């Protein structure tokens, strides 16, 4: 082997060894989830400045070690902070391959294998959703998929907008619940409709859109001379993990001829599970679905499928027919570039394909069932302890709660609310500082609540109990 070959070989082997050690070390609870440092201190510890002269490739493994040391361990079983987490060796392998083949998904010519993998995955996801003739494409994340759905809905209702932009008389209006992800609002802004075109529909106590409130909002919008065109239902809301009643919403969108999008970024994966699939009942009546394998399926970021019930919609919405790229060959149905918003596009489907090979449908079903069981267990454990209160009845893998330390339990009304709010945010800040757990909070019903997310199948009952103990302990000292 040449000198260069030997150095590359030895360095990649060392990198693979470091990667394996890193993943194995996630099981060691004595290693913190994070070692948070302010930017100035982190810059002092790591020299991140770029240089005039390059360095030997072999030296970069020491940088790799530093990156691993100072990054948040999202694969740690006590990382509860986000809707993604854990780690999956098969999809990590897929990520490596994606970097090795370094290609773009726009044409079959450039990405033959990855294109066929994506087509097969989209076929199967559509089958799980119940879109018989469906089509779809991968996007850089749930936000992008939601934007694509909104664009497709506009294409159907206002076909002139692609070329001319909106006409004064269009007055488009779209609907989402108060608990929907902000990317839907941002889609309204990006599309030039303006945030005022978005109508936020109230939710019930568990965070699900109220169908009667949607109906009313549509009628009010029509009476105000607007043109409703799009309803976003959420299957697995960002904070509480709630599932909007899709069938009931579909009755309303059918009646008014509106596009129904289901943002199943979080929840799509429940379709694998016989036990939990009913949460998505009626999804086959939707016009489009967003589904993020980088959330519940445990695939590394980013991996998001945009699914459409009717074929042809994506091309009609997004195609620009760039002749330098798409040469109109007989196999152009495999040129996916005109379906997407990007030109160059990562082969995100590849890591999912590897993961799917390793786990199969049944593995994903077991994963969903296990995560739901853990969330139920956490809920039981929590309500059995003094001072812990659920703020929403959990419907899936997120549990929102507060802890009221003993000294605050005699307080009532606003003073209690303020004191508990202060305690929650301070405990969370201290917990983050100490790095043994990472747990987020969100405003629920006007004040902060902890949001526990169960997405890592390696989290144990002990981890969950340890978190509650930690909250109790830190709350006493504040």
By the criterion CB under 6 A, which residues form the site for ligand PLP?
Answer: 83, 141-143, 146, 181, 183, 234, 236-238, 263, 265-266, 292, 302, 304
Which residue, 266 or 439, is less far from ligand PLP as judged by CB? 266
Give min distance, CB of 274 to ligand PLP, in A.
23
Give min distance, CB of 213 to ligand PLP, in A.
19
170: phi then psi, degrees, rounded to nearest 5: -60, -55
From 66, 60, 83, select the one nearest 12 (Cα to Cα): 60
Q: Which residue is nearest to ligand PLP (CB)?
A: 142
Give min distance, CB of 318 to ligand PLP, in A.
18
Give min distance, CB of 186 to ligand PLP, in A.
10
Which residue, 181 or 208, is less far from ligand PLP as judged by CB? 181
Which residue, 269 or 304, is less far from ligand PLP as judged by CB? 304
Q: How far apart are CA 77 and CA 456, in angstroms?
A: 6
Q: Produce one character per residue of 35-55: b if its CB has 16 or more CB atoms within 10 Å, e if not.
A: eeeeeeeeeeeeeeeeeeeee
Q: Give Cα 458 distance to the centre of its chain.
A: 19
Q: How far apart are CA 387 and CA 397, in angstroms?
A: 22
Which residue, 283 or 471, is less far from ligand PLP as judged by CB? 283
Give min distance, CB of 59 to ligand PLP, in A.
34
Q: Is 432 exposed, middle or buried (0-12, 13-18, 19+ CB in 10 A)?
A: middle
Which residue, 57 or 182, is less far from ligand PLP as judged by CB? 182
Tell me whether the omega of the peptide bond preceding residue 415 falls within 30 degrees of 0, making it cis: no
Which residue, 302 or 449, is less far from ligand PLP as judged by CB? 302
Strand 79-80 to 259-264 pairing: unpaired
114: phi then psi, degrees, rounded to nearest 5: -65, -35
Give min distance, CB of 153 to ligand PLP, in A.
16
Give min distance, CB of 424 to ligand PLP, in A.
21
Give min distance, CB of 261 to ligand PLP, in A.
11
**Residues 6 or more apart from 48 whose CB is under 8 A from it?**
none
Which residue, 180 or 471, is less far from ligand PLP as judged by CB? 180
Q: Produce one character per residue of 319-332: b if its CB has 16 or more CB atoms within 10 Å, e if not.
A: eeeeeebbeeeeee
Which residue, 161 or 264, is less far from ligand PLP as judged by CB? 264
From 436, 400, 347, select the one nearest 28 (Cα to Cα): 436
Give min distance, CB of 6 to ligand PLP, in A.
41
**Residues 6 or more apart from 409 whose CB is under 8 A from it?**
387
In this structure, are residues 229 and 157 in contact, taking their beta carbons and an 8 Å threshold? yes
Which residue, 397 or 423, is less far from ligand PLP as judged by CB? 397
Strand 79-80 to 172-177 pairing: unpaired
What does the CA dihedral 260, 265, 269, 274 come to, rounded to 10 degrees?
-40
């Amino acid at each position: 082997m040449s000198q260069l070959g030997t150095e590359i070989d030895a360095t990649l082997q060392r990198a693979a060894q470091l990667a394996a050690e890193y993943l194995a070390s996630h099981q060691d609870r004595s290693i913190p989830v994070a070692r948070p440092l302010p930017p100035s201190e982190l810059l002092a510890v790591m020299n991140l400045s770029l240089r005039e002269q390059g360095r030997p490739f072999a030296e970069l493994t020491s940088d790799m070690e530093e990156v691993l040391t100072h990054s948040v361990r999202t694969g740690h079983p006590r990382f509860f902070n986000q809707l993604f987490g854990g780690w999956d060796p098969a999809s990590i392998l897929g990520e490596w391959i994606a970097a090795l083949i370094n290609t773009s998904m726009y044409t079959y010519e450039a990405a033959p294998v990855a294109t066929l993998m994506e087509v097969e995955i989209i076929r199967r996801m559509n089958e799980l959703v119940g879109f018989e003739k469906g089509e779809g494409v991968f996007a850089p994340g749930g936000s992008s998929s939601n934007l694509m759905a909104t664009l497709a809905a506009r294409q159907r209702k206002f076909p002139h907008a692609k070329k001319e932009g909106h006409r004064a008389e269009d007055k488009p209006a779209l609907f989402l619940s108060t608990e929907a992800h902000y990317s839907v609002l941002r889609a309204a802004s990006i599309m030039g409709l303006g945030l005022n075109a978005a109508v936020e529909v109230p939710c019930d106590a568990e965070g699900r859109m109220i169908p009667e409130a949607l109906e009313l909002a549509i009628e009010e919008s029509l009476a105000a001379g607007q043109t409703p065109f799009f309803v976003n239902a959420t299957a697995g809301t960002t904070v509480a993990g709630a599932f909007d009643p899709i069938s009931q919403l579909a009755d309303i969108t059918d009646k008014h001829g509106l596009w129904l999008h289901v943002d199943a970024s979080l929840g799509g994966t429940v379709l694998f599970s016989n036990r939990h699939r009913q949460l998505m009942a009626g999804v086959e009546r939707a016009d489009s679905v967003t589904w993020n394998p980088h959330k519940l399926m445990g695939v590394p970021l980013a991996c998001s499928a945009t699914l459409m019930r009717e074929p042809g919609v994506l091309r009609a919405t997004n195609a620009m027919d760039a002749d330098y790229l798409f040469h109109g060959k007989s196999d152009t149905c495999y040129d996916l570039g005109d379906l997407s918003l990007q030109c160059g596009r990562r082969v995100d489907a590849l890591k999912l394909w590897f993961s799917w090979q390793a786990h199969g449908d049944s593995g994903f079903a077991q994963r969903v069932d296990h995560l739901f069981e853990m969330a139920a267990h956490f809920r039981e454990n929590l309500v059995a302890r003094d001072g812990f209160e659920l703020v929403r009845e959990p419907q899936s893998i997120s549990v929102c709660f507060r802890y009221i330390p003993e000294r605050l339990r005699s307080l009532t009304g606003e003073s209690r609310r303020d004191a508990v709010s202060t305690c929650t945010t301070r405990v969370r800040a201290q917990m983050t500082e100490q790095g043994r757990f990472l747990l987020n909070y969100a405003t629920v019903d006007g004040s902060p609540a902890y949001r526990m997310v169960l997405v890592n199948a390696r989290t144990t009952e002990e981890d969950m109990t340890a978190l509650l103990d930690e909250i109790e302990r830190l709350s006493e000292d504040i």
